[in-house]
Amino acid sequence: MNQTAMQQAILVEFAVREAGPRASIEMMEAICYVIRNRVRAGWHGGSWLANVEHADEVRTTDRPERVTLDEADRNLQRLLQRIDDIWYGTTQEGQNDGTLEASIGKAMHWAFLDRPMTGFGRELMSAPQQNPVKCHLGTMIFF
């Protein structure tokens, strides 16, 4: 295993656990896209691992109930298959081709509308001009 594969596996685990039980594959993918946006913006020195490790510092909603990983879970398998495309990106800058990636755009945060907000989340949501909502995905918003 190389360092990239290790970081991708950690990202997948984070997204599955963060999305919570009963989450869709799209919710998991969207979390990965936001982490990628943070990396590209240079958060934590542009480190994938550091961005996952420090994600709690910018948590907008409370943690979901614990997710137990199951290698037979179809969404986990699908996310593992798609992680290279998320990692390296496929959408050209400014292109909106109707994909989830394009819908997320440059969003830096996500929030689950069915979970209690953190103080940080309430602060972000109270300034919609500075933090406009980019897209909705089920019970999630991205801004």
Total domain count for the chain? 1
What is the 8-class DSSP label of residue 41? T
pLDDT tens-digit readout, 87-143:
998 655 545 567 999 999 999 999 999 999 999 999 999 999 999 999 999 999 999
pLDDT tens-digit readout, 30-53:
999 999 999 999 999 999 999 999
Order of strands, sheet of 140-142, starting from the edge strand that comes earlier in the sequence? 110-112, 140-142, 135-137
Task: Find the domain containing 114 and state its range.
Answer: 3-142
Question: Is residue 42 a contact partner of residue 81, using CB atoms and an 8 Å limit?
Answer: no
Is the pTM higher than 0.95?
A: no
